């Protein structure tokens, strides 16, 4: 019986020739990640270990990104806790304001991840790095503490759902629409405890940014991880970002999957997840006129350069509708710089949007775009749970950067494929 | 911790960690402070009515969403002695084990047990008894490795034990 990509990576990191679904293993970790919300809890737990110190100062990444620049005194204390821990333990990959970005955009950009790695992060969207052919999964603070101290974590080897992709995406349709479509089909617990393994000829047509977005939201289907095979696009991304060479694992031809889902990318149309679950998806044939109050374009899901390019293509020469607040958050300093050089920031500002420093802020209702009672937001973020971005009666509609930009202009949830005369820079 | 016994507080499917402990309180990490806001965005009455030993019974995918360990910490500090659900989201499942909050998966119990029932859970056997109705259910007992983590009072103590 063959192994999946995920199973092969886990076997190699557990020193085993083979593993099977359900088996409990202990695996060596290539990187352990935490942020300003989860790391302080982990750091306090670290003090309870009899063995002091960290397993490898080069294999820990600390990224204050949720409530920074500090939004209040408690946030500032959390940041200080992380900063002091990083200094005391000489953590190589600590990113201060000025270098930081949203962690799941930042770490791949910094070349910290290689294909075949095993990564844990005390943030549920750690599954993003599956785009690079790594096994990466979200954990809590205690797992993070144990990982920092021992360099190991226990896992139950997951079974997998195979998602076979064919075709290629149309203009103003992106990775976000793909993953929302999949979550709409299988539900928010459709991949519970499982890997989502993306395969098939359609993979090659997806940009790395599309793959990051898709892997990022595996958790929104309950998945343990989402993972893509390594191809030339992966290797060229890794080279560009100076990552160490990794190992490309392929699923065995006789790998066993719990389920297979076929997705024809050319059939996907802009998709919106309605309140209050990511599985409540609709395409525009079933979306009435819904007036909105705010648009957020950013986050670990959709704050990358191709997201900004697509949004800017729609906003160029247009204006955010009267009474709508449009908040654009480039995910890292480098993305901000690139967006500036390409003139995208000017497009956003001229359109009447605001541009923020990198932060997770509004996505989780932290700051920088909290919703009042009854307000509606079209957001490129990843969760639309009750109260996620503010008041419990506010509503979040999850969508792609293209749909978000089109909605900002229209003042209501709007289909970006209506801009048939514009070239989608991410689909050329 | 061989067993828990308490009155049931009942919730439905997909209770996410954002409603268990909203992000506006995440700058705090003191368990008592987190407990003061536990379930606030789902059930404003929870904090005032929860009693030491009470048991939460919920539907599927309990604890979905964010990896915040603040969620099981808030539930544990509220006095909840066990969470029974049809299924748990996997990060919540790990976190609960790692901090020593007893949880048990049992679709049958999740479906039938009602708000206010008196329920007993035996963690060694996985048997859940509804004292109010007399019905018994077989829940999924933990594998020995996870049971040992819970018995040790969480992952840190377990690792300290292993490295002795």
Closest approach of chain A CAs to the CA of B110, in angstroms?
A: 16
| For range A144-167, the mean pLDDT | 97
Compute, in degrees rounded to 10, the torsion defined by CA atoms A220, A60, B97, B1: -160
Q: Which of A37, A44, A74 sits opposite B68 (nearest CB)?
A: A37
Inter-chain residue contact A150 with B159, CB threshold 8 Å? yes
Q: Which of A142, A224, A385 sits opposite B155 (nearest CB)?
A: A142
How many CB atoms are closer than 10 A to CB A51? 10
The answer to whether the CB of B21 falls within 8 A of the CB of B71 is yes
Inter-chain residue contact A140 with B68, CB threshold 8 Å? yes
Closest approach of chain A CAs to the CA of B55, in angstroms?
A: 23
Closest approach of chain A CAs to the CA of B131, in angstroms?
A: 31
The reply to whether omega before A69 is within 30° of 0 (cis) is: yes
Q: Could you tell me the CA-to-CA distances from A77 to A36, A53, A99, B24 in Å, in that order?
A: 10, 22, 19, 15
| For range A141-153, the mean pLDDT | 97
**Residue B136, pLDDT score:** 98
| For range A90-101, the mean pLDDT | 98
The answer to whether the CB of A310 falls within 8 A of the CB of A424 is yes
Q: What percent of chain B has pLDDT over 90?
A: 83
The answer, for B153 touching chain A at a CB cutoff of 8 Å, is no
Inter-chain residue contact B23 with A364, CB threshold 8 Å? yes
**Residue B140, pLDDT score:** 87
Q: In whole angstroms, what separates CA B129 from the centre of its chain?
A: 17
| Burial of A423 (C-beta count, 10 Å sphere; 0-12/13-18/19+) | exposed
Render pLDDT for A343-359 as a digit per residue (tens, 0 to 9): 999 999 999 999 999 99
**Residue B145, pLDDT score:** 84
Inter-chain residue contact B14 with A75, CB threshold 8 Å? no
| Closest Cα in chain B to A364 | B23
The answer to whether the CB of A174 falls within 8 A of the CB of A401 is yes
Inter-chain residue contact B29 with A44, CB threshold 8 Å? yes
| For range A108-115, the mean pLDDT | 98
Closest approach of chain A CAs to the CA of B132, in angstroms?
A: 31
The answer, for A52 touching chain B at a CB cutoff of 8 Å, is no
Banded model confidence at residue B126, pLDDT cuts 50, 70, 90: very high
Q: What token pair was written down for A367?
A: 């700051």
How many CB atoms are closer than 10 A to CB A276? 19
Q: In this model, does residue A106 exceed pLDDT 90?
A: yes
**CATH number of A273-427: 3.30.499.10, 3.40.50.300, 1.10.3720.10, 3.30.360.10?**
3.30.499.10
Which residues between 47 and 106 in chain B have a beta carbon less than 8 angstroms from any beta carbon of chain A? 60-61, 64-70, 72, 87, 89-91, 94-95, 98-99
Which residues between 353 and 412 in chain A have a beta carbon less than 8 angstroms from any beta carbon of chain B? 364-366, 383, 385-388, 392
- Supply the CATH number for residue B95's domain: 3.20.19.10
Q: What are phi and psi of A44, to 5 degrees?
A: -65, -40
**Residue B1, pLDDT score:** 55
The answer, for B122 touching chain A at a CB cutoff of 8 Å, is no
Q: In this model, does residue A387 exceed pLDDT 70?
A: yes
**Residue A288, pLDDT score:** 97
**Residue B162, pLDDT score:** 86
Domains of chain A, by residue range, sit at: 5-265, 273-427
* Separation of alpha carbons A86 and A64, rounded Å: 11
Three-state secondary structure of chain A:
CECCHHHHHHHHHHCCCCCCCCCEEEEECCEEEEECCCHHHHHHHHCCCCCCCCCCCCCEEEECCCCCCCCCHHHHHHHHHHHHHHHHCCCCEECCCCCCECHHHHHHHCCCCCCCCEEEECCHHHHHHHHHCCEEEECCHHHHHHHHHHCEEEEECCCEEEEEEECCCCCCCCHHHHHHHHHHHHCCCCCCCCEEEEECHHHHHCCHHHHHHHHHHHHHHCCCEEECCCCHHHHHHHHHCCCCCCCCCCCCCCECCCEEEEEEHHHCCCEEECCCCCCCEEEHHHCCCCECCEEEECHHHHCCHHHHHHHHHHHCCCCCCCCCEEEECCCEHHHHHHHHHCCHHHHHHHCCCEECCCCCHHHHCCCCCCECCCCEEEECCCCCCCCCCECCCCEEEECCHHHHHHHHHHCECCCHHHCCCCCCHHHC
Q: In this model, does residue A55 exceed pLDDT 80?
A: yes
**Residue B147, pLDDT score:** 86
Render pLDDT for A252-279 as a digit per residue (tens, 0 to 9): 999 999 999 999 999 999 999 999 999 9
Find which of B39, B69, B163 to mutate to test the A interface (most A CBs within 10 Å of its CB). Answer: B69
DSSP string, B63-106: TBS---THHHHHHHHTT--EEEES-B-HHHHHHHHHHT--EEE-
Q: What percent of chain A has pLDDT over 90?
A: 98
Inter-chain residue contact A140 with B61, CB threshold 8 Å? no
Q: Which of B14, B69, B156 sits opposite A48 (nearest CB)?
A: B156
What strands lie across the sheet with A60-63, from one edge to the other?
A: A93-94, A60-63, A31-35, A118-121, A135-138
**Residue B146, pLDDT score:** 87
Banded model confidence at residue B78, pLDDT cuts 50, 70, 90: very high
Q: The domain A5-265: what is its CATH number?
A: 3.30.499.10
Banded model confidence at residue B150, pLDDT cuts 50, 70, 90: confident
Q: What percent of chain A has pLDDT over 70?
A: 100
To the question of pTM greater than 0.95 for the whole model, the response is: yes
* Separation of alpha carbons B91 and A152, rounded Å: 17
Inter-chain residue contact A143 with B61, CB threshold 8 Å? no
What is the domain count for chain B?
1
Lowest mean pLDDT among A234-238, B54-58, B77-81, B124-128: B124-128
Find which of A22, A26, A140, A144 to mutate to test the B interface (most B CBs within 10 Å of its CB). Answer: A140
* Separation of alpha carbons A389 and B142, rounded Å: 36
Q: What token pair was written down for A156?
A: 């139950």
**Residue B2, pLDDT score:** 78
Banded model confidence at residue A50, pLDDT cuts 50, 70, 90: confident
Contacts of A47 (CB under 8 A, 6+ apart): none
Q: In this model, does residue B27 exceed pLDDT 70?
A: yes
| For range B63-72, the mean pLDDT | 97
Render pLDDT for B11-25 as a digit per residue (tens, 0 to 9): 999 999 999 999 999
Q: In this model, does residue A218 exceed pLDDT 90?
A: yes
Helix (H, G, I), strand (E, B) or coil at B144: helix
Q: Which of B28, B41, B163 sits opposite A386 (nearest CB)?
A: B41
Helix (H, G, I), strand (E, B) or coil at B29: coil
* Separation of alpha carbons B64 and A220, rounded Å: 8
Q: In this model, does residue A407 exceed pLDDT 90?
A: yes
The answer to whether the CB of B118 falls within 8 A of the CB of B132 is yes
| For range B73-102, the mean pLDDT | 96
The answer to whether the CB of A325 falls within 8 A of the CB of A293 is yes
Find which of B67, B101, B107 to mutate to test the A interface (most A CBs within 10 Å of its CB). Answer: B67
Closest approach of chain A CAs to the CA of B86, in angstroms?
A: 12
* Separation of alpha carbons A106 and B130, rounded Å: 50
């Amino acid at each position: 019986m063959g192994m999946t990509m995920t199973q092969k990576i886990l076997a190699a990191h557990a020193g085993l020739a083979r593993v099977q679904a359900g088996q409990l293993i202990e695996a060596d970790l290539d990187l352990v990640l935490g942020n300003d919300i989860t790391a302080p809890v982990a750091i306090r737990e670290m003090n309870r270990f009899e063995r002091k110190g960290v397993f490898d100062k080069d294999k820990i990444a600390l990224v204050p990104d949720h409530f920074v620049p500090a939004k209040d005194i408690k946030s500032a204390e959390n940041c200080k806790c992380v900063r002091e821990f990083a200094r005391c333990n000489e953590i190589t990959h600590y990113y201060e304001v000025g270098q930081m970005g949203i962690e799941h955009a930042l770490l791949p950009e910094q070349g910290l991840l290689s294909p075949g790695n095993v990564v844990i992060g005390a943030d549920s969207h750690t599954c993003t790095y599956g785009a690079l052919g790594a096994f990466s999964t979200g954990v809590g603070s205690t797992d993070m503490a144990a990982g920092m101290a021992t360099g190991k974590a226990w896992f139950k080897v997951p079974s997998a759902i195979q998602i076979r992709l064919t075709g290629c995406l149309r203009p103003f349709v992106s990775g976000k629409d793909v993953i929302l479509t999949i979550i709409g089909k299988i539900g928010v617990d459709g991949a519970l405890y499982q890997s989502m393994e993306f395969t098939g000829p359609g993979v090659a047509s997806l940009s790395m940014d599309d793959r990051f977005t898709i892997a990022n939201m595996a958790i929104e289907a309950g998945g343990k991880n989402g993972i893509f095979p390594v191809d030339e696009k992966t290797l060229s991304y890794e080279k560009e970002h100076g990552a160490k060479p990794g190992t490309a694992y392929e699923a065995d031809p006789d790998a066993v999957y719990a389920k297979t889902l076929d997705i024809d990318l050319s059939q996907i149309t802009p998709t919106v997840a309605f309140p209050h679950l990511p599985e409540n998806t609709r395409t525009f044939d079933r979306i009435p006129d819904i007036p909105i109050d705010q648009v957020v374009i950013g986050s670990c899901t959709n704050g990358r350069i191709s997201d900004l390019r697509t949004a800017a293509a729609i906003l160029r020469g247009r204006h955010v509708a009267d009474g709508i607040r449009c908040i654009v958050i480039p995910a890292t300093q480098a993305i901000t710089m690139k967006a500036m050089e390409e003139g995208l920031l000017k497009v956003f500002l001229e359109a009447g949007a605001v541009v923020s420093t990198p932060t997770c802020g509004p996505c989780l209702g932290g700051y920088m775009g909290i919703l009042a009672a009854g307000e509606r937001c079209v957001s490129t973020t990843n969760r639309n749970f009750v109260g996620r971005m503010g008041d419990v009666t506010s509503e979040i509609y999850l969508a792609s950067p293209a749909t978000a930009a089109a909605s900002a202009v229209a003042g209501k949830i709007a289909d970006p494929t209506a801009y048939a005369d514009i070239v989608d820079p991410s689909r050329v | 911790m061989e067993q828990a016994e308490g009155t049931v507080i009942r919730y439905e499917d997909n209770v996410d960690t954002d409603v268990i402990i909203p992000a506006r309180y995440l700058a705090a990490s003191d368990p008592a402070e987190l407990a003061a806001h536990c379930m606030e965005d789902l059930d404003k009455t929870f904090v005032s009515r929860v009693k030491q030993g009470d048991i939460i019974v919920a539907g599927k995918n309990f604890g979905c969403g964010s990896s915040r360990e603040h969620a099981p910490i808030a539930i544990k500090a509220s006095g909840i002695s066990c969470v029974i659900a049809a299924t748990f989201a996997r990060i919540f499942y790990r976190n609960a084990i790692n901090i020593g909050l007893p949880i048990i998966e049992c679709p049958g119990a999740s479906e039938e047990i009602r708000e206010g029932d008196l329920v007993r859970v035996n963690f060694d056997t996985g048997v859940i008894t509804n004292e109010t109705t007399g019905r018994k259910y077989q829940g999924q007992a933990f594998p020995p490795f996870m049971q040992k983590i819970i018995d040790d009072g969480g992952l840190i103590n377990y690792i300290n034990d292993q490295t002795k």
